[in-house]
Amino acid sequence: MSPEKIIAEGLKETLNEIYGIDIAADTALVQPTRKEFEGDFTIVVFPYVKLARKAPDAVADEIGKALSAKVEMLSSYNVVKGYLNLSISDDFWRHCLRDNHANVRYGLNETIDEAPVLIEYSSPNTNKPLHLGHVRNNLLGHSVSQILKACGHPVVQVNLVNDRGIHICKSMVAWLRYGNGETPETSGMKGDHLVGKYYVVFDQHYKEEQRELVAQGHTEEDAAQQAPIMLEAREMLRKWEAGDETVRALWQQMNQWVYAGFDATYERLGIHFDKTYYESNTYLLGKSLVQEGLDKGVFYKHEDGSVRVDLTAEGLDEKVLLRKDGTSVYMTQDLGTAQLRYEEYKPQTMIYVVGNEQNYHFDVLKLVLGKKLGKAFGERIHHLSYGMVELPSGKMKSREGTVVDADDLMDDMFQEAKSGTEALGKFDFQGEEAAKLYEMVGLGALKYFILKVDPTKNMLFNPAESIDFNGNTAPFIQYTHARIQSLLRKAAEQGVHIDDTLSDAVTLDTEEKLLVKILYKYPQTVLVAGDNYSPAVIANYAYDLAKQFNHFYQDTPIMKEADKSKRLLRLQLSQWVAITIRNAMKLLGIDVPDKM
């Protein structure tokens, strides 16, 4: 049981014994003591003053005396204007260090026997390569998955590939018109890059045809609808849904090019999935749910032939579920996919990691499944909405070819890491070993810079800033881990046995105790991150820990400490910091080097 809970239980008993006040332990006002005051935890006594019929300081002093006698871990207390500050004994912190300094699973909980949490992320379209926005999606989904696993939840990581629809047909039409049979092999391009190239080509010719129609006297709206290349794409979609063999064969070929490209990008990012769903397999199930809604009278057929649901009573509007030509929309396949996932996994929660521009979509999805179709699992859907990523140069546009490609970004980060690492001046790696370090530092910098920002916020990604070895960055934290490993190697070389039992007589200095307190908070930090689906909580904890250790390292002798018990304490403390940094960064998908 944590000190907070032990103190809260003691406070509950004390209030009842002294004043006859009955409170629930979970309502006790126990909080960390502010830095400017002496103590570890503070109790706010003002809520009990009126019932105790005494002055605040008197109440605080009486509670302090009773608690000190009741709770063994308390060493002292002080009262400041009605606030009771409690100090935890060195013995408690020393035992925390003794019990955890070598625990490689520190902060990780055993898996609970319960229904799984299903989390969908990535969800790319097969008409373009993954870009910076996808990178945030993938990193966020993967990290939240790892954090939930660390909290003890069974997790199923899934991907939904949007492999059908008008956007896919655009790339196909452009390739047929202008590709001259080009393939990844003949072009030397990754398959996803090649298909993305023709998505841009489509948009270029589409705009040109619109301009020509407008010049002929058409309105802009009519030109957008009647451009020949767009009509061709719509006809291709209709043929695809009708099962046309020629269209389906081209679709399969181009999608396979894209999947090979995606797999290479995922591998480099360290992303994986337990299962991948394909919209082409789920949209028909979605159509059956639309028919179910029609049969129940909760959906209706519009006069233009489309199928819609009226959500105006719920504060939304009418939502199209099937187009007038019978083809499906995103909502159609999301209905089918949710149904399929529920049948397969019976998850306690279905988390969708999708950008905040889709907030309305998921409000509709939950309403349609739950309130309209009566599916209980509709209430289990959680939209993990995140903000957009921008660059110093502004927003990205896929159709115009102005996106920052994920592969190019990782290459750039590799080069940033190379120059930044070598600039440290103590670099002696060569060949494959050096390349491995550059990749670890570069990808770590990318992941950390993105994940340290609260998921709900928009962010500006600055590659140069992310690689700074002295700021709130992964390289700073990675370098701290490498520094500790160097220290531990030096200790081993000098014959120090770090696993020796720490003496009960050794005392903790202020800086040592501060580090132990930060380390002690890590398991609870993991739970908070899990409750909030926020890797930022872990990232900023790791930075605070690394920063505090570096202060400690600069100001406190370790290997030069003459007192062997004190030296052992500091080495064990350093080892615990390294393990905690490694475990925290792993939850972010980031590796830490032993040498740098």
DSSP string, 107-171: TPPPPPSSPPEEEE----BTTS--BHHHHHHHHHHHHHHHHHHHTT--EEEEEEEB--SHHHHHH
The answer to whether residue 30 scores a pLDDT higher than 50 is yes
Question: What is the reported pLDDT for 426?
Answer: 56
User: Amino acid identity, residue 335?
Assistant: L
Give the phi and the psi of residue 553 in degrees, each rounded to 5. Answer: -65, -40
Answer yes or no: is pLDDT of 397 > 50.
no
Q: Which amino acid is at 169?
A: C
- Average per-residue pLDDT for the chain: 92
| pLDDT given at position 401 | 45
Give the pLDDT score at 391: 73
Residue 394 has pLDDT above 80, yes or no: no
Three-state SS string over 67-85 comes to HHHHCCCEEEEEEECCEEE
pLDDT for 330:
86
- pLDDT tens, position by position, 172-221: 999 999 999 999 999 999 999 999 999 999 999 999 999 999 999 999 99
- 524-564 pLDDT, tens per residue? 999 999 999 999 999 999 999 999 999 999 999 999 999 99
pLDDT at 425: 66
The candidate with the shortest Cα–Cα distance to 172, out of 247, 244, 279, is 247
Q: pLDDT confidence of 393, banded at 50, 70, 90?
A: low
| Interval 456-503: pLDDT, tens | 999 988 888 898 888 999 999 999 999 999 999 999 999 999 999 998
Q: What is the pLDDT of residues 276-292, one digit of tens each?
A: 999 888 888 999 999 99
| pLDDT (tens digit per residue) in 38-78 | 999 999 999 988 888 899 999 999 999 999 999 999 999 99
Give me the residue spans of the domains in the chain.
3-88, 121-390, 409-587
Amino acid 450: pLDDT: 95
| Assigned CATH for 3-88 | 3.30.1360.70
Architecture of the domain whose range is 409-587 = Orthogonal Bundle (1.10)
Determine the straight-line distance between the first and last CA of the chain, rounded to whole angstroms: 38
CATH superfamily of 121-390: HUPs (3.40.50.620)
Q: What secondary structure, in 3-state letters, does 251-303 show?
A: HHHHHHHHHHHHHHHHHHHCCCCCEEEEHHHHHHHHHHHHHHHHHHCCCEECC
